[in-house]
């Protein structure tokens, strides 16, 4: 099956190390993918106004507008965009609030990169974009090596 298009993901976090590491992880494991980064919710809202994303990943705890408030804005402006929230270890109450607020999933810190990539892959697939995996793992949806797909209706 051919790749339908390039996945486009937005990552929002106030931690410069994560804004460098997470996009690199995605570029190494998902193909093709384009990753934009923002260091604040305000900057993310500006991007969301002008661009559609296949998925958005945001930290919950950030200065100014936090990830839960950003999630509410995403749900209002782009309700069909799957959003994953990053929580600190032991912040189960925040994770529950995120899911109740419409988050697609949450990722706990320290971030397990395999779990992160798999969750994001599912979120992008939910949106209907086909991506290929560089790792060569079997994809459950098609049975073909290294592929996962879904159709946009």
**Cβ atoms within 10 Å, residue 78:** 16
Helical (H) or strand (E) element with 11: strand 7-12
Which residues of the chain, if any, have pLDDT below 50? 1-3, 129-153
CA–CA dist 151, 131 (Å, integer): 12
**Domains of the chain from N-terminus onward:** 7-148 (3.40.50.2300)
Report the candidate in 73, 70, 103 with the shortest Cα–Cα distance to residue 85.
Answer: 103
Which residues on neighbouring strands pair with residue 140, listed in sequence order? none
**Cβ atoms within 10 Å, residue 80:** 9
pTM: 0.79
Position 125 scores a pLDDT of: 87
CA–CA dist 99, 2 (Å, integer): 33
Q: Is 142 in contact with 39 (CB distance < 8 Å)?
A: no
Q: pLDDT tens digits, residue range 9-24?
A: 999 999 999 999 999 9
CA–CA dist 44, 17 (Å, integer): 18
Position 90 scores a pLDDT of: 78
Position 126 scores a pLDDT of: 67
CA–CA dist 128, 148 (Å, integer): 10
Position 131 scores a pLDDT of: 39
Q: Is 48 in contact with 56 (CB distance < 8 Å)?
A: yes
Position 134 scores a pLDDT of: 39
**Alpha-carbon dihedral of residues 80, 81, 82, 84, nearest 10 degrees?**
-140
């Amino acid at each position: 099956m051919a790749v339908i298009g390039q996945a486009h993901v937005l990552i929002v976090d106030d931690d410069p190390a994560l804004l460098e590491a997470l996009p690199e992880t995605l570029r190494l494991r998902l193909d093709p993918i384009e990753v934009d980064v923002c260091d604040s919710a305000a900057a993310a809202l500006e991007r969301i106004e002008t661009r559609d994303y296949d998925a958005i990943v945001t930290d919950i705890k950030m200065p100014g507008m936090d990830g839960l408030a950003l999630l509410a804005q995403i749900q209002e402006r782009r309700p069909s965009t799957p959003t994953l929230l990053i929580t600190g270890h032991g912040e189960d109450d925040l994770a529950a609030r995120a899911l109740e607020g419409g988050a697609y999933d949450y990722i706990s810190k320290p971030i397990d990169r395999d779990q992160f990539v798999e969750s994001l892959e599912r979120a992008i697939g939910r949106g209907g974009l086909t991506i290929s995996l560089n790792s060569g793992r079997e994809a459950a949806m098609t049975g073909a090596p290294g592929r996962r797909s879904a159709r946009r209706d």
